[in-house]
Structure formats: C-alpha cells, structure tokens
Amino acid sequence: MKDLYSINLRHIFRTAREEGWPFILICIYLFFEYVRPETIYPVIDIVSYVPIILGLAFLLSIINNELGNSVPNIINRLMVLYAVVVLLSSAVSFYPAQSFSRLSVFFDWFIIYFFIVQLVNNEKRFFVFLFLFLLFSFKMSQHGFISWAKIGFAFRSWGVTGAPGWFRNSGEVGIQMCIYVPLSIAFIIATRKYLTKKWLILLSLMPFTGIGTIIASSSRGALLGLGLAGIWSILRRPKVLVLGGIALALATCITISVLPQKSEQRFAASGHDRTSLHRIERWKAGIDALNHYPVLGVGFDIWDIYYPEHYTPKIKGSSLVHNIFIQCGSELGYTGLSVFVAMIFFCFLTTRKVRRLCRGHQDQFLAIMSYGFDSALVGLLASSFFVTVLYYPYFWIHCALTTCLHTAAQKKYAPLPPN
C-alpha cells in the first residue's frame, strides 16, 4: 500500500488495471457523474454516458462473477428498507401516477450504491476510488476558486457554479465542498508521511481551494456546514486530528478575514431576510403535511405538485421545501424519515467500527479516514439543512463510500472465514 499512499501515479494506474474492467468502469462512472465532460466539451455530447458505463459494468461484473459478494453492513438493509418505503408511499400517494413515474429519482441511486459497494471491496480499490473522488472534487474547487479570483475575491449574490447537473448552483457546489474539505484534510493527514513535498503541496491545495469555493459560493448553509464540520473534527478526536484541527482553525481565521462584507451582512440578516422567511414558510408547510400524513407522507417526490394545490404561499418563489429532513418526512412520512435518520446513525456507527478494527495496527490510513467521513457527514447534513437535495449524489455516495471503508477494514484486519 505504500506505493499507493505515496500517490505513485504509475502504481495507481497499474492497480486499477489489475483490479479489472468492472472496477475501472465504476471509476469512469464517477468521472462522468462529478465532472460531466460532455457538458464542458459539447462535441462529445452524443450519447448518455452514465447508463452505458453502468450497463457495461453490470455485464462485465456478471462475466467476471464480481456481483453477489458478501458485504455485511446494516446500511445495505436500510437501503432496501428505504426502497420499500418509497414504493409504499408511491402506492398511497396523492398522485400515484406521478410518484411511480419518478421512481428513478431514488432507484438510480439505489442501483449505483450497490454497484459501488460490490465493486469497491478491498483497500486498494477503496484508496483509488477515494483518490479519484477527491481529484474530481478538486477539479470543481479549483474552478470555483479561480472564478472567485477573477472577480477580485468580491461578493456575488449568485456565487460560483460547478459542473452542469448536480452542481450547477452555488449552494450545491457548497455542499460538495463541505464533504470534500474534511475528507481531503483527513486524506493528507493519513498519507503525509509517505508523500513527497510536491505532492504534499499539491494535495494541500484541495482544502485551500475548497474553502475558497465555499466562501465564493455565497451560501450561508455551506459556510455553516464547514464551521460545524471543523468543530466536530476538533472536538471528536483531537489527538489523532491535531493537524486537521490546526488546519481548520487556520481556515476559520482566513475565512473570517476574507469573508466579503455583503456575506457578513447576509449572515446578520439570517432569519429576517426574504430568503429566510421563504424557507421558514415552506418548512412549516412541510412539517404540517408530515403531521397530517405521518405514516407514508403525501407521496414520493410529488411535493412540487402537492404544495401549490394545498397551500397558499404568502411569499412567492420555489415550492420546494428547502430542507433535506423535511423533504424526506413530508413525502415519505415518519416511516421514511426514521429510515433516513437510521442510515445517518449507522454511517457514524460504521466509522466507529472501522476505528475498532484498526485499533492496535500500525497502518492507520483507514482509521484516520473514518474521522474524515464523520466530519464530512456533519458538513453534508448541516449545509443540506437549507436546500432540497435528498436525491442528489451527496448522501447516497457518502453511504456507499462509508460502507466501502468498512469493507476494506474488515477484509484487512478481520477477514471473514470462507464459506
């Protein structure tokens, strides 16, 4: 693993090749999902790449007998349970035809989740996949930082944007950065003793540009998410993450010192400005619907239809509920919300299990990354508290990576006996 930890690119490519085409294809999928090269270079926008890549990965996985591997983790069962709730909620939906027609909104992530946990099933694969995840996010963060620099680090109400698709809006870029910054810091800490100075400097640009992109996004939720992720990192395990705590403390000082005045004014107006009042009104409606239909909600993914027909908004604007928890509860009831919260809880419990598996071993890469995943989840949840992004990649990819982290630790330190 030392050649991987030192970011030996030749060894990384060789490792990916040795792991086979199904794994290579799931890495290529990640590239198309997060970078969207076909939108950057329209000349190659001739087919839908993601379905083709996943279809080939599925076919080759069957040929290579790579599906059906034992991946014992309760998150898998909760994913299945959540899928059942989605189907039941669709059946009793106020608009069942619309709910059933939109099932792919969740089931795409359901399929992708199980693809990833089946194919990223050892430490080498996990390292390569995680490195690519950080690299593709770095593409996003350096673009955001450079865009901000080009306007003299000034405030823009619309912030900066990412790749078209999931990260088109500044708030969505900000959420991804709240996941990416803690993971990149943990990655640097976990590999620093193997890195050359050049790689250490290059990797240090990841959290630096990520924090800059969060500031440039003008998203109050993303700034809050970054702050809470930093506090969690420092309080959770200061002995292991001393460098991370120092880095985040410095980042906080830098953020405060360079935060544009208009961003500070937006924070001061939180709770009283039009945007805040708009969100509060939608939250109240979502909670009201949840309490009126507590079992399975108003129906899967039909809030945009249900809201304008059952409520008269005082503040004009989007009908979306602007909160990941209320989005889940209003559409799937307390049943769906309970499963969702359980998945969050078991993500934290899974990383704790990883640390237990790694205890007493010299190689602490997986253990240190487990702390990064905890902080990333805190940042994700805090920043998505103000937007409607439940069926964006953030949470589902995070669950998949957390499960893969546990699988890698399980195979390395406590392998299950052969059947």
Q: What average pLDDT score do residues 250-273 get?
A: 55
- Model pLDDT, residue 417: 57
- Model pLDDT, residue 404: 96
Residue 151 lies in a domain: yes
**φ, ψ of residue 399 in degrees (nearest 5):** -60, -45
For 198-242, what is each residue's pLDDT tens digit? Answer: 999 999 999 989 988 888 887 788 888 988 888 888 777 655 555
- Model pLDDT, residue 155: 59
Contact 110, 374 (CB under 8 A): no
Q: What average pLDDT score do residues 361-368 get?
A: 88
Provide the mean pLDDT of the chain: 87
For 293-337, what is each residue's pLDDT tens digit? Answer: 999 999 999 999 999 998 888 887 788 898 999 999 999 999 999
- In the predicted structure, residue 166 carries a pLDDT above the cut 90: no
For 382-414, what is each residue's pLDDT tens digit? Answer: 999 988 999 999 999 999 999 999 999 999 887
Helix axes 242-258, 170-191, angle to 10 degrees: 150
Residue 32 lies in a domain: no
- Model pLDDT, residue 260: 54
Rounded Cα distance between 109 and 80, Å, is 12
- In the predicted structure, residue 419 carries a pLDDT above the cut 70: no
Residue 306 lies in a domain: no
Residue 85 lies in a domain: yes
| Distance from chain centroid for Cα 162 | 15
Model confidence band, residue 128 (pLDDT cutoffs 50, 70, 90): very high
Question: What number of other Cβ atoms are within 10 A of residue 9's Cβ?
Answer: 10
For 29-51, what is each residue's pLDDT tens digit? Answer: 999 999 988 887 888 888 889 99
CA distances from 2 to 191, 345, 394 (A): 9, 33, 30
Regarding pTM above 0.85, the answer is: yes
CB environment 325-356: b (16+ within 10 A), e (fewer): bbbbbbbbbbbbbebbebbbebbeebbebbbe
- In the predicted structure, residue 165 carries a pLDDT above the cut 90: no
Q: What average pLDDT score do residues 330-345 get?
A: 98
Rounded Cα distance between 237 and 91, Å, is 45
- Torsion sign over Cα 101, 102, 106, 112: positive
Q: List Cβ neighbours of 418 (8 Å cut-off, separation of 6 or more).
A: none
Residue 348 lies in a domain: yes
Share above pLDDT 90 across residues of the chain, in percent, rounded to a whole number: 60
The amino acid present at 175, given as its one-letter code, is: I
For 85-112, what is each residue's pLDDT tens digit? Answer: 999 999 999 999 999 999 999 999 999 9
- In the predicted structure, residue 268 carries a pLDDT above the cut 80: no
- Model pLDDT, residue 215: 84
- Listed residue (124, 133, 144) closest to 376, CA to CA: 133
- In the predicted structure, residue 258 carries a pLDDT above the cut 80: no
Contact 220, 386 (CB under 8 A): yes
- Model pLDDT, residue 238: 53
- In the predicted structure, residue 119 carries a pLDDT above the cut 80: yes
- Model pLDDT, residue 65: 82
- Model pLDDT, residue 227: 85
- Model pLDDT, residue 38: 86
Model confidence band, residue 247 (pLDDT cutoffs 50, 70, 90): low
- Model pLDDT, residue 240: 53
**Higher pLDDT among residues 3 and 57, named by residue:** 57
Residue 179 lies in a domain: yes
Rounded Cα distance between 219 and 174, Å, is 7
Q: What average pLDDT score do residues 349-368 get?
A: 91
- Model pLDDT, residue 312: 84
What does the radius of gyration of the chain's CA atoms come to, in whole angstroms? 21
Q: Which DSSP state fits 168?
A: -
Residue 63 lies in a domain: no
Residue 34 lies in a domain: no
Structural domain range at position 99: 70-273+315-413
In the chain, the number of structural domains is: 1
